[in-house]
Amino acid sequence: MDEKVVATIQARMGSTRLPGKVMLPLAGDHVLTHDVRRVETARTIDEVVVATSTAGADDIVARYAARSGATVTRGSETNVLDRLFKAATATDADIVVRITADCPLLDPETVDTVVECLVNTDADYAANILNRSFPRGLDVEAFTAESFERVHTEASTPSQLEHVTPYYHQNEDQFDLVNVASDAVFDEPWMRDRTDLRLTLDEADDYELLRAVYESVSFDGVLPVREAIRYIDSEELSELNSAIEQKEV
C-alpha cells in the first residue's frame, strides 16, 4: 500500500457520563494504552496519533499517549473535526482512520478490513457502522485525506463539528461510501451480527463488563476480541450493560 495510513484516536478526559474514562485501569494499563496498542497491531496502520485537546485536564492524556508510543497532537476541545483534521495534516496522512478512545477491545483485523475496503473500492469513506453488524466498541471509519479536506471546509453544524463524520453520511450524493459487514471479518457464526453486545466504554456498567473480561481472560499484549466475546457469552456478562441506551448523534 503506497498511501500513508494514519490512525487518529480522539481522546480527552471530559465525558458527561463517565469522566476520565480513558485513564481508567484495565489489567494494569490504562484504557488509552490498550487503545494505542491494539491500533498499532493492525498491519495497515503506518502511524498512530492521539488527538487530544489543549485543555489542561488533557495534559495527562497527552503524557500517557506519548508513553504508549503514539504521536500526540492537540487542538480544540469542542471542534473535534478540526482537531482530527490537524492531526491528519500534521502527519501527512493519505488515509485517515478514525478511532474513539472508548474502545479498549477494538479489533485490529477489523481495522485492516475497513482500510483495505476503502483502498480496493477506491471509495471516499469506508466504515463498519453504516449498516451495523458489529458490537458497539468495534467501530472503525476510514476516509481519504482528500475527501476529509472537503468535509473540514464544508461542515458547519455543531453535530458535524463534534462528531467528525456526519457530513459524509448526510451528503451521500457527494461521496462514495462503503459499508463493511461482520461476515467480511469473522468466519465464526457467533461473531457475526453481534449488535446485541456493548464493548464500548460510556458508563460505569460498561466498565464493569470490560474490567471483568480483562481480569479473567489470559492474553499477551492484545486481548483477542474473539476470546473476549467467547467469555462474555459463557458468563452471560452482556446483562451487565444491556440496559444502557446509546446516545445518538
CA distance 27 to 24: 10
Q: Cβ-count burial of 109 within 10 angstroms (0-12 exposed, 13-18 middle, 19+ buried)?
A: middle
Is 226 in contact with 198 (CB distance < 8 Å)?
A: no
What is the dihedral angle through the alpha carbons of 63, 69, 70, 72, rounded to the nearest 10 degrees? 30
The pLDDT of residue 244:
86
- Section 90-108 average pLDDT: 98
Sign of CA dihedral 68, 73, 75, 79: negative
Distance from first CA to last CA of the chain, Å, rounded? Answer: 33
42-88 pLDDT, tens digit each: 999 999 999 999 999 999 999 999 999 999 999 999 999 999 999 99
The pLDDT of residue 245:
77
Q: How many helices (H) and strands (E) does the chain have?
A: 9, 9
Centroid of chain to Cα 13:
16
The C-alpha cell of 119 is what? 483502498
The pLDDT of residue 248:
64
CATH number of 5-187: 3.90.550.10
CA distance 205 to 202: 8
6-35 pLDDT, tens digit each: 999 999 998 878 999 999 999 999 999 999
Is 71 in contact with 86 (CB distance < 8 Å)?
A: no
**Phi, psi values for residue 76, rounded to 5°:** -60, 140
The CA R_g of the chain, rounded to the nearest whole Å, is: 17
- DSSP for 140-206, please give it: -EEEEHHHHHHHHHH--SHHHHHHSSHHHHHTTTTS-EEE--GGGT--SGGGSS-TT-B-S-SSHHH
Amino acid letter for position 63: R
Whether the per-residue pLDDT at 142 is higher than 80: the answer is yes
163-172 pLDDT, tens digit each: 999 999 999 9
CA distance 242 to 108: 25
Give the E-state strand segments of the chain in sequence order. 5-10, 25-26, 29-30, 47-53, 71-75, 95-100, 125-127, 141-144, 177-179
The pLDDT of residue 193:
98
Return the domain boundaries, the chain: 5-187
Whether the per-residue pLDDT at 249 is higher than 70: the answer is no
